[in-house]
Amino acid sequence: MLAHSDLSLITQLEKSRQFYTSNREIYENNFVELQQELAENEKKISSLVDSMITVGESSVKMHISKRIEELDATNKSIRSRIAELEELTSAHSLDGLQFDLLRQLLAVFKNSIDDMTIEQKRAAIKTVVRKIV
């Protein structure tokens, strides 16, 4: 019965697929933007380090050093956000193909469950059910 498209399980699967697909695109766009920002900051830091060499001993060196520390703190924050995005995209890695396979498995499950051994039934159920709460 789970394989029928008018039941709520298939409807929920489809909604989940659409939700994760749209969120994944947002996450990937943010990821690219953060990578670009990180690269720009690294260039700025490198440029500031080079300018410290030419400035010599002066009060300007202190301001340059302060700016490098600010950029470094920003980079740490960016790296943290990048790690979060990587975790989110890997946690929601079900794509359209996997949802289609699950839907097909449910359809086949109905017709072949009676012919399966106990071990095969357990394996099939574990494929469909992640956990029971």
The reply to whether 91 falls in a domain is: yes
Q: Which of 94, 96, 117, 101 is nearest to 3 (CA)?
A: 101
Average pLDDT over the chain reads 79
Residues 6+ apart with CB under 8 A from 97: none
Higher pLDDT, residue 88 or 4: 88
Q: Measure the CA–CA gap between 95 and 85, rounded to whole angstroms.
A: 17
Structure tokens at 89: 């995209």
Q: What per-residue confidence (pLDDT) applies to 9?
A: 65
Number of Cβ atoms within 10 Å of the Cβ of 106: 20
**What's the total number of domains in the chain?**
1
The better pLDDT of the pair 96, 126 is held by 126
pTM, whole model, 2 decimals? 0.56
In this prediction, residues 110-126 reach a mean pLDDT of 81
Identify whether 117 is part of a domain.
yes
- DSSP 3-state assignment of 10? helix
- pLDDT of residue 39 exceeding 90, the answer is yes
Residue 87 domain boundaries: 8-128
CA angle 93, 94, 98 (to 5 degrees): 145
